[in-house]
Each structure stands twice: as structure tokens, then as C-alpha cells.
Structure 1
């Protein structure tokens, strides 16, 4: 019987609250459930190593100069100071392959050590960082004429995408969540590219967990409240409903981010819960009558 691959995983998001982190957690959970040898190297609040059955976690603390990129995500330009510690764990673990996930400090360290130690690398694409950057730049330069903003964002988006594709030439194999990205990466990197699928836990997320019966129609959104999620479109949607004479509705918005204040200030019938998880999140989904997702930057489509 073939032995399972020994994988050392370098996720850019793991303890954070976002889709990429959830995907990473599910991957590690799958390895643990099936008894696969797995080393997960991630950023954390402190540097420590934890053994959980067949899974080893190496948490590495970011330095005080780390640059905040989101509510709970940062980039540490000094992260490679941990390389000696990581090499020690890699030598002990003896991985067959390293798995990197993106252009952040943790995965860059993994890519470097894969090259240094001559360990094969696989890469997975989780975030359309080029589109995220374009949306944030558009918000940052919104005081400029639209034509100037368009030139700035188009230039930035193209250059960041080119840089990302160049980075994904490092792995021998790349995984992507939709066919468009598979084709883009296969064409740009000349590497083999495969579909990375996802699913829904229908036991946790079930209509049976609905708790409201007040007859109010609920529009739901779940995600980070950031410019790249295009959440201001929810304000436009509410205005259209009010102009049509509709008042028996409510927006149930689950998430956190710097757009929260704008939404709460400019919407009449809205409840913003902040981050939810587990049963609270399942209940929130069950209480929605329709899911509204205005983002145009989703890697999973």
C-alpha cells in the first residue's frame, strides 16, 4: 500500500477570519481526520509548536514592523528571520512536498525554503489580489477624475497580476478554484494546473436553523466589509427598494471591515452583526431569504 504524502503547508491565512483561512483550516482538518502526516506552518500570536495527532502546527509570531493588510491579516517584511526554525522542523518532518498559497510572508518563506532545500512545491490560488488592489486604489484616489483613477487602477491591476503569475512559476503544479484562473495560470506559468473544488456542510448550514417568523423579507450578505467586496451596492439596492415603495424588508449583514460605518450610516433597514462563526453563522444564513453578493473579485467565482 502506498504511503500518504508528507505535506508541509504554508498558508498565508489560517487563524484569520476569511475564506482563504477557512479553506486552509478545512484542508488541515481533512488531513487530521484521515490520519495523514501534515505540518502546518502559519503566522500566530506567539511562536510555538503544537502536536495534534498526525498534524503538527508551527505558529510563528510576526514582528512589530508587520504591515496591516486587513482587519486581522498582515505582512511581515522580517518574517524570514524564522527560516532557521522552519528548516529545523522541515528536517524533522521530512516532507515530500511543500504547499504554498499566495504572495504573503508565510508562503514566500515556504517558496524560498522549497528552493533552498530542493523540496517540490505545489501552489494554490485563493485570492484575486490584483483585483483587490485595484478596488482599494479606486477608493483611495476617488477624489481624482474618473479617467485618472481608471488609468491608475488598470495599470496596478495588470502589474500585480503579472507579478502573481510570475510567482506561481515557482511551484511545479498549481491549483485554482475556477476554469478561468486555471487557464490563466497554465498559460502564464507553463505549469500543470488543476481545479480546486469546494463544498458546503449541509448539516451545519440548514434551513431548519431558521429562528425568525416575523414576515420580514431578509436580504443577506456575509463577508469582509471592504472596498473590493463592492458592498456599497447594498446601499443602492435599498434605495431602489424604497423608491419602489417597499418597506417590509431588512438587510442582515455579517462581517467586519472599514465599510461598516458607511453601511450603517446610509442604510435604514439594516443589521450589521460583525463576525459570526459556527452555529451563530448557520442561524444567520438560515434567516436570510435571499443572499446578495455584490463582489466582483471572487477567486471562486
Structure 2
């Protein structure tokens, strides 16, 4: 990290909810507090307030009655600009040297406005494939249409949404992304310098020591939102394949809530639904799983995969999206393309307890290396490159920045 740590103003649309973005932001703020770094978080809250805690400061902005629900705990306030003056005043008084936004939501848009008015650098991190979420949800909402026009409509919506996202991220001076595919996409489509921003896990919270089970049932676990974009209906196909293969000694454990719960309750035969869990109850649920099954094809990273691994649980993921990069096939989990592949991987571990034990240990060891401190150390290094105009080092370029040094440096501020 640079000798002079910049005064950072983080504008985030997610903070108090259970999403991966919210967990990242809370851990970021905690990192700054422990390191005594000047750090301001601007976020939505139940009331408008300003508070200080050590080296950190938080401005909470109350969303209005016209706010539109986007997801569990996440809203968009079309009248958020009423807070623009207050946000700019607080950021100026704090002495912010850069603004970091996490998404193109109502608070993120306030962050862009503040950075532009103050003429300070803007950093934007990509956390969610909103365009793919939109396509999946639209496909569900238009299920009454014939398959072909429904697919065309969803594809058109995905392209339009991605174009809008690219326009938003092009306004930033520097971008952060969680996987190689997104680093490559943003580099090509925005012309901005793009650096990797991984995720971490709290191994003091997620650990095998919370395992309380002593039965022989093989528990297939999932944790997260129960939403169309998570591709959870695939689990129904996986169960049918398991039953067709004669497997009965298993149980699904689904932690979370959302619009897909009713469908899953109707169609999964051996399944337990806990709703959202937090704290030790969540840690116990993770540690009680035997295999973490994550059928999502839209996630950019998958914080929950690291939480499962830290709990000593190998992961089974799809071949699409960021989570596949977290799994070492045959060592810390499996990567499969469809329900048949999921079934095969599950049966492999069900009938090979020695391999299962080795994979549990390897998964935990891998997760223990993924600390939040390392993640945010790298973020501050990226901030330093923005401030000094230094180009990406070879390690970043190997992660997909394309090696286009002229293109990247053209937008760095010296």
C-alpha cells in the first residue's frame, strides 16, 4: 500500500442486506477501521444520519416512499438526487481524494455526480451481472409466451442492459472486476484500466468446528438468494437423476429465501429450507453440509463458495460464470456442465469417503489463503496506480488486462 493512504469515499447501494456486495462493503469498512485508514461509506439506511467510528465515517441516506424493490433488501429510489447536496457536502468535508462506486444504483449514481463535481478520480467495481439477472427474470415473467420469442426477448433485454452498464462503467477512471472474463470484457468495451478484485472469507466465522451433525445422510447444501438467476430449478433435475440412479441417502439443505422457494418446495422431495440465517446459525449450516451445490451461471464470483470451503465443504459449480475459477476440479470440488454432470459428481463423493475427506481438507486449506486483508491490500494498490499513473504489473496483466499499456494509461491521473 502507498505510504499516503488516500481518503476514500465508498458509495454503495448494498450494505445492510445479505448479498455478496453488502458483505464485501462491510468487510471493506472493517478493514479500513482496523488499519486506521480514512474511509467514508455513503449508503442507504433506515434514516438519514452521519456517524463516526475511529478512522471511518458513515453517511446513511433514507430512501423515499417511491423506492422500487429490486431484490431482497435492495431498492432503487428514483428521487435519490434530493440527497445530492448533502452527500457532496459530507464528502468535501471528509476531504475525499477519490470516489469508489459499487454499482449503477441510486447511491452509485450519487457517487458519480459527487466525483464529477469535485473533480476527483472515480473508481467503479463490478460485482453483479445485472444484464444476466434481468434476462433470467424476464424469461420467468414471460413464461406464458412461446419458447422462441421468449428467448429472443430475453436476449434483447440482456444486450440492452449490458450496453447501459458499459456506458455507466465507462464514466470511471479505473475499474475493478472479480474474474478474468469480466476483466477482458470491460477492458475491450470501456477502454479503461481494469484490475482484479477478488473476494475473501472470515475463517474465524466459517470453520469445520461448527459441524454439529453425526448422521450418515449426505447433505447437499446451497446458501443464497432463491431467485431465477441462480438457476435453482436445475436442482430438481439433479434430484431426479439421483433417484433414477437409485440414490436415496441424501438431503438438500437450502439456506435463503426468494421467489423460487415455492417452486422448489413443490418439486424437491428430500429438502430442508431454513430461510435466511446469520451468525453462528449460518456457520453451523455451512459446516453441516457435505457438498456445496451451486448451479448459478450468472454469479461473478460466489462469496458463498469460499464460505463453504472455509467450513470444510467442497463445492460443485457450473462451467459458466466466475465460481468455476474458485474450484480445483478433483481437489477442492467439481465443475459440471449440466444436471447429469452434477449427479455424477455427487455420486462420486457419496461412494468415496476417502476422496471426500481429502477434498474437505483441501477446500478448507484453499479458503484459508483467501483473506479479506489481502483483497483490500490489492484494492489500495490499484488506487495507488490511479493516483501515480503507474501501469499494471505483469501479474495483473496475466489476469486478463490485455497488456494494452497505452490504452490503460491514457485514462490514469497523474
TM range (shorter): over 0.9
Please name the residue that 1:133 is paired with: 134
Unaligned runs of 5+ in 1: none
- Taking the aligned partners of 2:180 and 2:3, their CA distance within structure 1 comes to 31
Tell me the secondary structure at the aligned position of residue 10 of structure 2.
strand
Alignment correspondent of 1:158: 159
Runs of 4+ in 1 over 3 A off after TM superposition: none
1:292 aligns to what SS in structure 2?
A: strand
Alignment map for 1:1-301 (pairs within 5 Å): 2-300=3-301, 301=322
- Give aligned pairs, total: 301
Structure 1 counterpart SS, 2:199: coil
Moved more, 111-120 or 284-293: 111-120
SS in 1 for 2:9: strand
* Cα separation, 2, equivalents of 1:35 and 1:202: 22
RMSD, matched Cα: 1.1
SS in 2 for 1:168: helix
Structure 1 residue 142 displacement after superposition:
1.1
Matches of 2:88 and 2:207 in 1, distance apart? Answer: 44
Structure with the higher fraction of residues in helix conformation: 2
Is the deviation greater in 60-69 or in 81-90? 81-90
Gaps of 5+ in 2: 302-321, 323-414
TM-score (normalised: structure 1): 0.98
Counterpart of 2:81 in 1: which secondary structure? helix
- Measured against aligned partners, the alpha-carbon deviations of 1:142-195 in whole angstroms (never above 9, x if no partner) come to 111111011101111111111111110111000000011011111111110000
CA distance in 2 between counterparts of 1:129 and 1:122 reads 18
Deviation at 1:117, TM superposition (A): 1.8
Work out the CA distance in 1 between the residues paired with 2:61 and 2:205: 31
CA distance in 2, matches of 1:125, 1:259: 25
How far did residue 91 of structure 1 move? Answer: 1.7
1:91-132 Cα offsets, whole Å, 9 max, x none, are: 210100000111100001100111122121100000000000
Deviates more, 1:277-286 or 1:92-101: 277-286
Report how far residue 72 of structure 1 moved.
1.0
* Aligned-partner Cα distance in 1 for 2:266–2:155: 30
CA distance in 2, matches of 1:71, 1:123: 23
